Structure 1
Amino acid sequence: MRYIRPTSLTWWAGCLAILTGIASLTLPAAGSLGELSRFVALLANSGDASSVGLMFLGLGLIGLRDRIERGFRGNE
């Protein structure tokens, strides 16, 4: 489980991007969760980034962090 690093800031940024993408897909625009949906839209830059794009960005950040860390340690 080398990808799960809760002490890494890059890992948390990736998780936040993934969760923002998932929330923007699942939250309704109106109703009782309307305020939360508007907050998620602000986090997603008001709809400029697609939900799938945010999820791929998060996964990319987590994978990039792992690759850079392995590169500094040398060949494994």
Structure 2
Amino acid sequence: MSELKKGDEVTWQSHGSTASGAVEKKITADTHAAKREVRATPDDPQYLVTSEKSGGEAVHKPSALTKKPRSKK
């Protein structure tokens, strides 16, 4: 998968269904985000995403996210 960036629309599996939202930022160091401690490094980053439906924040590894294709207008 190509590098994700702020604003990219993505989907992920959440509680047995597919959730969607947008990337807020790439996390490359240990930090606190989405109400939990996040372990990340430049070689093993995670992404902070905001749910389109609930507005809640979550943190996911790149392998858990699927970038939505851009719609052609």
TM > 0.5 between the two?
A: no
Larger radius of gyration: 1
Bigger relative contact order, structure 1 or 2 (CA pairs below 8 A, ≥6 apart): 1
From the two aligned structures, give the one with the greater helix fraction: 1
Structure number with higher strand proportion: 2
Structure 2 length normalisation: TM-score?
0.28
